[in-house]
Structure 1
Amino acid sequence: MIILETLSCVSCLEYKVVDLTHNHGKDSIYWPTHSGYERYIDQRGLFDGTDIWVASNTIKTTEHLGTHLDAPQHFNEFSWTTHQIPIENLVGPGVIVNVKSKVVSNADYTVTKADLDEWEDQYGKIPEGAIVLMNSGWHDRYPNKTRVFNTQNPNDTTSFHFPSWGKDAVSWLLAHRSIHVLGVDVPSLDYGQSKDFPVHILISQENIQNVGYLDKIPESGTIISCAAMKIVDGSGSPVRVFALIPKNSDTNNARKYNCSLFLLLCSLVSFKMLNQ
């Protein structure tokens, strides 16, 4: 009943709901040092001699597989675990920073402060509580591991080549803007050849990875929600990520609603935690 009422409210507000979540299964992308995904059938058929159909499965999965969230503790021993993340930190205005043209000749490109300036010149100041995502056009590579990690050996992390956020740009965001989420369309918040993960360490908060279909939403004017499981003492969680787009919004400044598949990694930033 609550679900029906919630959907009714969304309809009342005249929002289009766009699912940004990849299927969670055996083909989902995950970091090669983590475990993958397994599913076991507990029940599939008529229940206990009756004519009642019942289906039930058990799944075994790393928290960091497919569309998922990294809790603050993933890169910060003294930060929140998954169940401690305030729900309001998982929602915010969508900000999509498009750097597709810049990664064509440089697979190791990192987003700069100038890229953020370009977005603000077009759309205005990054709103408070924003979910800021990099769009590098990596979406058509998912779920091919060789193409996503941009290497012939996706089990060798030293061979990875993909773009991501630059340390200086993230430092500026943390100092001058109050955002909730930082994200990319690649397997890590740090570019493929990074050895010391400076962006992860800078924010060391919640981050959400492997979101799909980002090209379906505008670069400004949406609300994005990242609904994580409330796993006690978790270092992360699978998530259902979706965007709300006003049905009467002007999409002339958007990337339009094409159907490209998109790999995204996001990092949720909590200034409350940064100030502790």
Structure 2
Amino acid sequence: MKIVDLSRELYHRTPSYPGHPPIIHGVWQNHADGLAASGNVWGLASMFISMADHGGTHIDAPRHFGPKGISIDQYPLEKCIVPGICLDLRHITPKTEITAEDLEAAVKKAGVGVPKGGTVLLCTGHHQRTFPRKEYSTDNPGVNVASTEWLAKQGIVHFGIDSMRPGTDSAENLLVHKTCLELDITHIESLCNLEALLGEGQFTFIGLPMKWREGTASPIRAVAVFGL
């Protein structure tokens, strides 16, 4: 069995979506303090983290798209372990919309069909090109409404991308979110290392969210598993 990690590292002040609170990660108690607190019996260290539910690699809950959508604690876990493929879209230039025709051509090039009830991961190369520079939060290519509709017609439960948003940094991104709610799919943002999946065929995607009550999203440890 081969496991490929597709998750961004979380650390203090890692890039966050514009307008969202920063990720704060620090020491709560070091080993010396723990030793003193225990009467010199044993020193246990611990840390704390504060972040938005859309921080790092995460899956959006339908609740994020509209008040009638389900929250992340209600999102079916069956949709978090699914077959997947990865499409090579690295030729799409920054800030450009990915069309349905682009997706069709990428599927043909991949030589594997879109799995029903599965996921499609879009390797744009954006993370590899820009992270953690400021361009990471602004210059990504992304799907538009028509290509989102095309993905939904293939029978997927979600799609993922190696940038902070599914669409470009424009009003089209908000329309893509609205379309996801209407079509009963969602998406995964801030993936990385998708280049390692290209040419490898179908895999099992695993990305389990935390059980945050009424959450609009959740960080996930996203992995692709081959030979499962």
- Please indicate the TM-score interval, normalised by the length of the shorter structure: 0.7 to 0.9
TM-score by length of 2: 0.87
Count of residues in Structure 1 that have an aligned counterpart in Structure 2: 219
Which one of 126, 133, 156 corresponds to residue 138 of structure 1? 126
Choose which of 229, 241, 265 in structure 1 pairs with 2:222: 241
Q: What are the superposed Cα offsets for residues 143-177 of structure 1, whole Å, 9 maximum, x if unpaired? A: 3242213xxxxxxxxxx332101211111222x22
Which SS does the other structure have where 1:41 is aligned? Answer: strand
Alpha-carbon distance change, 142 to 228 in structure 1, aligned in 2, over 3 angstroms:
farther
Please, which runs of 5 or more residues in structure 1 have no aligned partner?
1-14, 150-159, 248-276
> What is the match of residue 156 of structure 1?
none
Distance, in Å, in 2 between the alignment partners of 1:96 and 1:58 is: 34
Structure 2 matches for 1:211-250, cutoff 5 A? 211-219=191-199, 220-246=201-227
1:44–1:196: structure 2 CA closer, same or farther, 3 Å change rule? Answer: closer
Q: Given that residues 19 and 213 in structure 1 are in contact (C-alpha distance below 8 angstroms), is that contact kept between their aligned partners in structure 2? A: yes
- 1:34 CA displacement: 0.7
Of 20, 29, 34, the match for 2:20: 34
Residue 101 of structure 1 aligns to a residue whose secondary structure is coil
Please say if residues 134 and 164 of structure 1, whose CA atoms lie closer than 8 Å, have aligned partners that are also in contact: no
Aligned mates of 1:181, 1:63 — CA distance in 2: 18
The alpha-carbon distance between structure 1 residues 213 and 197, as it changes in their structure 2 partners (threshold 3 A), is same
* CA RMSD of superposed structures (Å): 2.1
- Between the aligned partners of 1:146 and 1:127, the Cα distance in structure 2 is 35
Structure 2 partner of 1:169: 147
The letter of the residue matching 2:218 is S
1:181 aligned onto 2:158? yes
Please report the TM-score for the alignment, with normalisation by the length of structure 1: 0.73
CA drift at 1:142 = 4.6
For the 8 Å contact 2:144–2:172, the answer to whether it is kept is no
5 Å-filtered alignment, 1:66-85, equals 66-85=56-75
Give the structure 1 partner of residue 88 of structure 2: 98
